[in-house]
Amino acid sequence: EIVLTQSPGTLSLSPGERATLSCRASQSVSRSYLGWYQQKPGQAPRLLIYGASSRATGIPDRFSGSGSGTDFTLTISRLEPEDFAVYYCQQYGSSPRTFGQGTKVEIK
């Protein structure tokens, strides 16, 4: 099973700032099948990025993903008030699909 480790655990930033979230895999993620999800309290996750760098339908271009192999990054170029949430990475290149433990982006 591939273990995903996200860092940092919490990111304290102000609106307008840039957020950089990391996701490291215990082994190479097949075909860069790595996705990022945003989750707000009491809500289901929302797909942001798939295939490491492709934005999902309707996702603003301030969200971008990069990386390959074992190291992946989600960047939010300029934080909007609605972006403060928990972000999870997920690999789906091998079974079982696994999620990271999440990074909370909070208002500073």
Partner 1 sequence: QVQLVQSGAEVKKPGASVKVSCKTSGYTFTNHAVHWVRQAPGQRLEWMGWVNGGNDGTDYSRKFQGRVTMTRDASASTVYMELSSLRSEDTAVYFCSRVDSSGSYSHDYWGQGTLVTVSS
The contact set with partner 1 (CB under 8 A) reads 33, 35, 37, 39, 44-47, 50-51, 54, 56-57, 88, 90, 92, 95-102
- Whichever of 14 and 43 has its CB closer to partner 1, that residue is 43
- Whichever of 27 and 78 has its CB closer to partner 1, that residue is 27
- For strands 86-91 and 10-13, give the pairing: unpaired
- Whichever of 76 and 103 has its CB closer to partner 1, that residue is 103
Q: Are 85 and 38 in contact (CB under 8 A)?
A: yes
